[in-house]
Amino acid sequence: MLQFFPTKSALKLKNLLCRFFMGLFLIFRVFRAEQKFADHMKEKNQASSEFAKKKTLLEQRQYLPIFAVRQQLLNIIRDNNIVIVVGETGSGKTTQLTQYLHEDGYTSYGMVGCTQPRRVAAMSVAKRVSEEMNSNLGEEVGYAIRFEDCTSEKTVIKYMTDGILLRESLRESDLDHYSAVIMDEAHERSLNTDVLFGLMMKDKRSDLKLIVTSATMDSDKFAAFFGNVPIFHIPGRTFPVDILFSKVPQEDYVEAAVKQALQIHLSGMVGDILIFMPGQEDIEIVERLEDLENAPSLAVLPIYSQLPSDLQAKIFQKAPDGVRKCIVATNIAETSLTVDGIMFVVDAGYCKLKVFNPRIGMDALQIYPISQANANQRAGRAGRTGPGQCFRLYTQSAFKNEMLTTTIPEIQRTNLANVVLLLKSLGVQDLLLFHFMDPPPEDNMLNSMYQLWILGALDNTGSLTPTGRLMVEFPLDPALSKMLIVSCDMGCSADILIIVSMLSVPSIFYRPKVPSIHCDQVREKFSVPESDHLTYLNVYLQWKNNNYSSIWCNDHFIHTKAMRKVREVRSQLKDIMVQQKMNLVSCGSDWDVIRKCICAAYFHQAAKLKGIGEYVNVRTGMPCHLHPTSALFGMGYTPDYIIYHELVMTTKEYMQCVTAVDGEWLAELGPMFYSIKHAGKSRQVSSVPPEFHNQHL
């Protein structure tokens, strides 16, 4: 790095230059107006500073490991339509590959597209590359993420999230605008990446170059999937990390992690510590590390996605001199954010995963051992600024014999209703024959098709109905799209639009670590006793009445960031509704209409009261519980029938976001499920035998 000190000779030089420019100034003044001169100097200064910047950027580019193999890489891409690139951390693949293809002429007949699994990555990489190419962001180099299209007609290099490319392929299936597509970080195997993989194999243009980047572990599998295509290896530039395994299995990983961190801290070695924990709860326990009096000058900083952003920012701030940072993180720190200065990683070896069970239509959020790939990624976090150490709180044999090499891809453990709808709209006839790299369980596919049939998106032959076609337009789960579509006929679309937007954003309510009665009292002000959905509507309307104020949010224990996102989602959905000529009307204060509309899209997720505060699933008979955050919880108001938005298994089977409905609505709106049984005076809704359902699969 260059440093400038105002020495004597430098001051002399400055004086000389000043005189020189003063002289110039006087001469110019004779011929030109002052303003013109100023403009000229401005331009000149800009040009020279840009030259300096360009030079250093060019030098930086040439210093990257990928530069040494540039020509080889371009040759192999020229000779093959699909190439797997293994690019280690720090190789420069993400910023350079696109530019090399541009320099090699690929942008003369189409764009070079590059997908990223995360929005921030797409934005920041595009910014960097536009600087390296000496152009303004959004011109030659641009990016596109949800809610933000920063590209123009000039754009030749386009970074985007994988979801954007997937949506684009809906509109033009052969990706005509592109001459080359790079799917970066494909080893993360996001749902969108996996669907794109299959589509790329289905009917790929013969002149489209596809470059898939992967980690070493998956490269052979990737190459085989795409038809034994070549693998190209780019070395990385990171520092070595010593890996130390636990000699014996640890019973309590929280305690073990705290002990290990303390040992590092007291050993006198310099550098910050990063501890990986599975969830928020464990992180809060580890924080008590700070209380240990014998640990001087240690700053314990938690980080997880639900943490308010001002507290999140703390991990990036420099600690005071002599203070060591000890960051306690979920797997958010594995890929999503990078902290410099980490020399030690303490890895508990667990993470939380959401796994979908199609048989009962329920997600289970559970703690699982991480995979070897995760473990290596975590260890790598210690080697970014210098040589590091990674302490694994599990044995070497556990690593080798008990951990999977890679994590089970999302497509095999998630509800596929959305994927099925998307593929159907792309004209994929038999989904079970679709070319997935790792096919999802058949049960899962059939269940999703069944759910789409219930919602009227698929007909009895399994083809897309007009309703289904309309549902594809919305970036929503099928039941939510359905609710929006139905609401137009029921005259409450403006209200449902808000509810759908609220449901598309996680965690609206903020609960402080030390729970206060005040917080609960404030919350009760919004509560609509018969419905969480209506409670959400209420919150949004009140926020709107308070001019979308963030102070109002803070005063009412509501996440401002989440509410802003709700507003964005609402506006995007509204645009689609207008475009699809769907009418936007509010039913005002007639909230029964809204409840009925919710019922029309969620009748398949209903529960019946059985005992005090106990519910059973109407279809499966499985006991389900109201979640304690529900407006209906412990209110003494227990309706006979409710529908739920989501069923999640944590410590119990919990229904999240519920609304009271009339039993008769269920029979009326979901006749394929329910019939009214007349038993004396009272009428009961009963489930239609399941054999009936199977006729349609």
Partner DNA sequence: GAGCACTGC
**330-to-123, 301, 384, 681 alpha-carbon distances in Å:** 23, 12, 19, 55
Least Cβ distance, residue 587 to DNA (angstroms): 26
Is 205 near DNA (CB under 7 A)? no
The three-state secondary structure class of 362 is strand
67 vs 633, beta carbon nearer DNA: 633
Q: Shortest gap between Cβ of 262 and DNA (angstroms)?
A: 24
Residue selected from 120, 313, 432, 551 as contacting DNA according to rule CB under 7 A:
120
User: Collapsing DSSP states into helix, strand and coil, what is residue 372?
Assistant: helix
Which C-beta is closer to DNA: that of 234 or that of 452? 452
Confirm or reject binding of residue 146 to DNA (CB under 7 A): yes
CB of 320 to DNA, least distance (A): 27
| Min separation Cβ 368 and DNA, Å | 10
Q: What's the CA gap between 153 and 166, in Å, rounded? A: 21
What crossing angle do the helices spanning 560-579 and 532-545 adopt, rounded to 10°? 100
Amino acid making up residue 29: R
> Which residue number, 615 or 654, has a Cβ lying nearer to DNA?
654
Size of the site for DNA (CB under 7 A): 49
Q: Which of 260, 418 has the CB closer to DNA?
A: 418
* Smallest separation (angstroms) from DNA to the CB of 280: 3
3-state secondary structure 104-140: CCHHHHCEEEEEECCHHHHHHHHHHHHHHCCCCECCC
- Nearest distance in Å: CB 39, DNA: 41
Tokens read off for 364 = 């289970």
- Check binding of 143 to DNA (CB under 7 A): no
Start-to-end C-alpha separation, the chain: 67
Buried b (16+ CB within 10 A) or exposed e, 390-403: bbbbbbeebbeeeb
Nearest alpha-carbon partner for 432 in 457, 462, 406, 474: 462
Q: Which of 138, 235, 279, 386 binds DNA (CB under 7 A)?
A: 279
Q: Which residues, 632 to 651, sit near DNA by CB under 7 A?
A: 633-634, 650-651
Give the contact letters, 357-396, x = binds to DNA (CB under 7 A), - = no.
Answer: --------x-------------------------------
**Cβ proximity to DNA, 480 vs 669, nearer residue:** 480
User: What DSSP string describes 498-564?
Assistant: HHHHHHTSS--B---SS--HHHHHHHHHH-BTTBHHHHHHHHHHHHHHTTT-HHHHHHTTB-HHHHH
Among 81, 336, 527, 542, which residue interacts with DNA (rule: CB under 7 A)?
A: 336
> Does residue 304 bind DNA (CB under 7 A)?
yes
- C-alpha distances (whole Å) from 293 to each of 272, 285, 288, 290, 297 are 19, 16, 11, 8, 10
653-682 residues near DNA, rule: CB under 7 A: 654, 656
Q: Minimal distance in Å, beta carbon 326 to DNA?
A: 18
Subset of residues 483 to 542 that bind DNA, contact rule: CB under 7 A: 504, 506-507, 511, 515, 520
Q: How far is the CB of 332 from DNA (least distance, A)?
A: 4
3-state DSSP: the chain helix, strand, coil percent, rounded to 5? 45, 20, 35
Beta carbon nearer to DNA, 219 or 331: 331
- Please spell the DSSP secondary structure of 274-328, one letter per residue: EEE-SSHHHHHHHGGGGG-TT-TTEEEEEE-TTS-HHHHGGGGSPPPTT-EEEEE
One of 130, 179, 238, 331 touching DNA (CB under 7 A): 331
Between 395 and 527, CB nearer to DNA? 527
Which among 414, 376, 441 has a CA at the least distance from the CA of 189? 414
Give the residue with the Cβ less far from DNA, 320 or 628. Answer: 628
Task: Give the residues lining the site for DNA (CB under 7 A).
Answer: 117-120, 145-146, 161-164, 167, 190-192, 278-281, 304-306, 330-332, 336, 351-354, 365, 418, 475-476, 504, 506-507, 511, 515, 520, 627-629, 633-634, 650-652, 654, 656
